[in-house]
Amino acid sequence: MSDQVLSTGPHVAINAIAAETPRRSPAAPAAGQRARFARLLALPGQAIAVVVLVLPLVVALAMSFTDWTPTRGSLREASWVGALNYEELLVWDTRFLEAVARTLAITAICLSVEFALGLGLAVIFSREFRGKSVLFSVLLTPMMVMPIVVGYTFWMLFQSDGPINQVLDLLFGITPQWFRSPGFAWTAVIVTEVWHWTPLFFLILLSGLNSLPQNPIRAAVILGASRRQVFWRVVLPMLGPVIRVAFVIRFIEVIKLFDEVFMLTRGGPSTATETISLYIYKVAFQDFQLAYSAAAAFLVLFGTLLLVHLLMTPMRAQLFAERTR
């Protein structure tokens, strides 16, 4: 090394020594500091999420195993009853079971009608026609309106002397009492829900249709398939995952159906249109059975999670299979 220093000069020697000396990259500690700083920034949000979401959920779950009601003192003085509330709901409370069955029936009817209408509109809007952009915006408008406003609007429309009865009287000579008969009350609820949320089905299915690969469709046309055969045997199977996602999203929303029913019928006549959300509301805030209503809410939560898991299982397997390829 000394010979090299003498022969090549001091600057070259210094560079050679520096190259031989291991140096620590300043990027490594800087990256570690940035990662620690990012975690520190996320801590307040995580703490708020725990306080706002997790803690009330844990308290409500613990409360569901007691007999607490505000009229008997504080929660600390409540007696532990174990799974008695859940047993009462699942075995003896026919009103709860009827509300669950009623909600599932309304869900099945609404989703079927919304899917049929949304798919038909999506097929129409997948083609070009005059005024398409304006009509598209108009059709999406109901989805933007708050549920409580939709419920009140249709409550006014379905009045005995309201616009709907006036049109029916003019055309058919009938004026139904929409909120005094269980059948008519069901019709009012379903019509309101379908009007409000069909645009969501329409938007999801239209997005799915526009994103489908065109090669299988072109191949089917070249092989001589008709438009109907292309739709039923090529387009609809490829649209399956999108349809399943739309059903899952709407299923979760319809299970929580409350605002429209509350404004239209209050669950009546009697309990003919009482959904599970309305049942829990009445038990909690009219009967003040908060522990009992918490148990009912957790049963609905666990049931919804189970049904969503079953609905998503085929698509989940498909996604995982594609990821492992």
* pTM of this structure: 0.81
State the pLDDT at residue 7: 47
| pLDDT, averaged across the chain | 86
Q: Which residues contact 122 (CB under 8 A, 6 or more apart)?
A: 202, 205, 206, 208, 209
182-197 average pLDDT score: 94
88 DSSP 8-state letter: I
Counting Cα atoms < 13 Å in the Cβ hemisphere of 5 gives 5
54 DSSP 8-state letter: I
Top mean-pLDDT range of 18-22, 77-81, 251-255, 275-279: 275-279
pLDDT-based confidence at 5, cuts 50/70/90?
A: very low
Amino acid at 55: L
State the pLDDT at residue 187: 94
Task: Report the distance separating Cα 43 and Cα 39, nearest Å.
Answer: 6
CA 261 to chain centre: 18
Domains (range + CATH), the chain: 2-63 (no CATH), 84-324 (1.10.3720.10)
Tokens of residue 131, six digits: 């005024």
pLDDT tens across 128-161, in order? 888 888 999 999 999 999 999 999 999 999 998 9
Task: Report the distance separating Cα 142 and Cα 117, nearest Å.
Answer: 14
